[in-house]
Amino acid sequence: MFKRRKRIALDDPSLERVKLTPQMLTYDQFASRSRSQYLPYVMGFNAADYRSEAINTDRLGFRLAYDAQGRPVSVGTLEASTLSEVNLLVGASSALGYGASSDAASVASRLSTHDPDATPWLNFAGHTFNATQELMLFVLHAHRLPKVRRIVIMGGFNTLVMARLPEFIRGDLPPFYFCGDYYEKFDEIAEENGAELPPGKLPKWPAETTEVPPVSQTLVRALQDTMNCLTTWKRLADSLGAELTFVLQPLATWVRTPCAEEQKLFNELDQISRFGTWQHLYGDISAPTVAEYYADSLANSCHDLGIRFASLIDDFRERPDDEWLYVDRAHFTDLGSDVVARAIHRYLQ
């Protein structure tokens, strides 16, 4: 779909990214597809038993979070705990805490720190997940959980990105990141076993050059995919006696003009990206007007279902212009994660 650029070493010490956000080198390694788990039903998930100063996961791949007393907790360590009640932070990389300098600085850990009832928050997020994968992950691991008091789903952007894929990829079910590889390999296996694929079989990925759909169509698709999942989430939460909240993540381009540190990082990321600038990749869905329409649509639909909705966009717009909140356009600094956690608690209360 996009012409690849010459690869630049992401650990080059001259990069602002290395100077300002050295933890991102660890996240580069963590997110490598050579380390990802390929699991049934959710396709891929976080690397299991990953150890580093910035991010650590348990035997299942869930990131460790810290409770109000500074004790690590995760889905995969619950068997050895005496917790009677937990809260869940569900989502993709922003909820995972991609960019935080440590597990203790992630959104989930900050939620525990600021929780008025001292109820631990579990990090229930997966890197590059869409709304459907987030739901499936819960279905697969719900049996491991004690009583769930609150479920907060923070996301919106990944599902919006996936809604821009052309019809030959989308089909009748929501697509997922790297699904082109899956489709290609499935075709190869089918052919090896004697299948005669139709002339209109899926084009090779990423050679397809089909233009993205109009923004209005993308927004309708993303809203539908999100609400289909939230409808099921609502039924599950009601059956568990849990409060359900959907939070729209505050993408940097939806919020404000970048501060000095953010501008340096964003400019450099545009220069070293192998696939093109952010504007080239996601410019059509990066405008504040798109975010406002998206937020209004989600708010109305959540209201109709009886689901609490919160958009963090205005919360971030109210922050001082010189605060450094983002390590890239989608992920937060430690300060940004704390701002997110405090804002979520205000909505919950």
Q: Is the pLDDT of residue 344 over 70?
A: yes
User: What would the mean pLDDT of 59-67 be, rounded to a whole number?
Assistant: 97
User: What would the mean pLDDT of 81-107 be, rounded to a whole number?
Assistant: 96
Pairwise CA distance, residues 327 & 338, whole Å: 14
Q: Is the pLDDT of residue 80 over 50?
A: yes
Q: What is the pTM of this model?
A: 0.91
Distance of CA 213 to the CA centre of its chain: 22
Q: What is the pLDDT of residue 187?
A: 75
Pick the CATH number of 16-164+212-348 from 3.40.50.1110, 3.40.50.300, 1.10.8.60, 3.30.565.10: 3.40.50.1110
- Reported as a pLDDT band with limits 50, 70 and 90, residue 249 is very high
Q: Is the pLDDT of residue 200 over 90?
A: no
Please provide the distance, in angstroms rounded to a whole number, between the alpha carbons at the two ends of the chain: 45
Stated as kind and residue range, the H or E segment containing 155 is: strand 147-155
- Reported as a pLDDT band with limits 50, 70 and 90, residue 206 is very low
Q: What is the pLDDT of residues 209-218, one digit of tens each?
A: 467 889 999 9
Q: Is the pLDDT of residue 335 over 70?
A: yes
- Reported as a pLDDT band with limits 50, 70 and 90, residue 278 is very high
Pairwise CA distance, residues 122 & 108, whole Å: 6
User: What would the mean pLDDT of 90-115 be, rounded to a whole number?
Assistant: 97
Q: What is the pLDDT of residue 132?
A: 92
Q: Which of 85-99, 164-178, 236-250, 330-344 has the lowest mean pLDDT?
A: 164-178
Distance of CA 291 to the CA centre of its chain: 16
- Reported as a pLDDT band with limits 50, 70 and 90, residue 43 is confident
Q: What is the pLDDT of residue 2?
A: 43
User: What would the mean pLDDT of 1-20 be, rounded to a whole number?
Assistant: 75
Percent of the chain clearing pLDDT 90 (strictly above)? 74
Count CB-CB contacts under 10 A for residue 322.
8
Give one DSSP letter per residue of 62-108, joined into a string. Answer: PBPEE-TTS-EE-GGGGGG---SEEEEEEESHHHHTTT-SSGGGSHH
Q: What is the pLDDT of residue 81?
A: 84
Q: Is the pLDDT of residue 1 over 50?
A: no
Residue boundaries of the structural domains of the chain: 16-164+212-348
Q: What is the pLDDT of residues 112-168, one digit of tens each?
A: 999 999 999 999 999 999 999 999 999 999 999 999 999 999 999 999 998 887 766
Pairwise CA distance, residues 344 & 300, whole Å: 19
Q: Are 236 and 312 within 8 A, CB to CB? A: no
Pairwise CA distance, residues 50 & 200, whole Å: 42
Between 250 and 171, the more confident residue is 250
Is the backbone of residue 91 left (phi > 0), alpha (psi -120 to 50) or beta? Answer: left
Between 262 and 162, the more confident residue is 262
Q: What is the pLDDT of residue 6?
A: 55
* 58 DSSP 8-state letter: -
Whole-number mean pLDDT of the chain?
90
